[in-house]
Amino acid sequence: MSDTQIVNAGADAGRIALILVAKEAVAGRVKTRLTPQLSAQNAAQVYRVFLKHVRRVCEQTANRDQHLQLVLLFDPPHSIESWHAWSRWLKVAQSAGDLGDRLRQGQNTLAETHAGGCLFLGADAPELTTDQLLWAAREVRRGYCIMIPSNDGGYVVIGMPTGGPALFDGITWSTAMVAAQTREAATRQGAEMKELPPVADIDHPDDLANLLARLQKSSSSADITLRRELMHAIRPTGASALSEQ
């Protein structure tokens, strides 16, 4: 793929949809791999903290890039009232199907109004930064696909220009092959993939314990707040399952 951006006539050529893929924080439906070390209720509270933090990072990114549209791709569809406080966000219900089907549906829904392309992220990587998301938006505007991989073989951010390659087909989701298969899909279609170094995806109890240890060493006010909120979220069951490193 060349540096020439693929433009959808009639839309803002630089407009990028920053799409947060999120679930309603219901116990037993989110962060289930943190159980049984955490109760389902504590795991759901951890997810709420992650979601709050990633939302704030996305909104700070949009404050610095006025051509970013914040989009909430939410599930389940009937949970629309749960998101009423997200007033800055365009809300789109997730479709049925696997993750690829849902991402593809979100991409297709937004293609006509976001000629620059789409960036997708979830709420499982609270260490993502505004600078990383700004880099991703810049590269997509230049016509590149982008990936910020996770440390478990998946990715925490994926992006592509409108009219670019199909990156959600033929992927074995929720496995360590996701990032590799996505790179292969881009290569087969003649697209160049730009990447940053991996970012931790917090799925398992050890991931969460390691995150808390990293946050404890940070002097950033955002990191201090995130750690405090997570320590509150994992009590009382979490305090015995995850040591306060």
Consecutive sets of 10 residues in the chain, 245 residues long: mean pLDDT of each?
Answer: 32 82 96 95 97 98 96 94 94 93 90 84 97 97 96 96 92 96 96 96 96 96 96 72 42
Going by C-alpha positions, the residue among 192, 127, 138, 142 that lies closest to residue 165 is: 192
Distances (CA, A) of 63 to 58, 168, 197, 207: 9, 29, 24, 30
Looking at CATH, the fold of the domain delimited by 16-236 is given as Spore Coat Polysaccharide Biosynthesis Protein SpsA; Chain A (3.90.550)
User: Coil, strand, or helix at residue 18?
Assistant: strand
Residue 93 phi/psi, 5-degree rounding, is -75, 140
What global pTM score does this model have? 0.89
Evaluate the CA torsion angle 69, 21, 93, 46 in order and state its sign: negative
pLDDT of 14? 77
pLDDT of 239? 43
User: Coil, strand, or helix at residue 211?
Assistant: helix
Radius of gyration (Cα) for the chain, nearest Å? 18
Going by C-alpha positions, the residue among 82, 84, 49, 63 that lies closest to residue 18 is: 63
- Whether 179 contacts 154, CB under 8 Å: yes
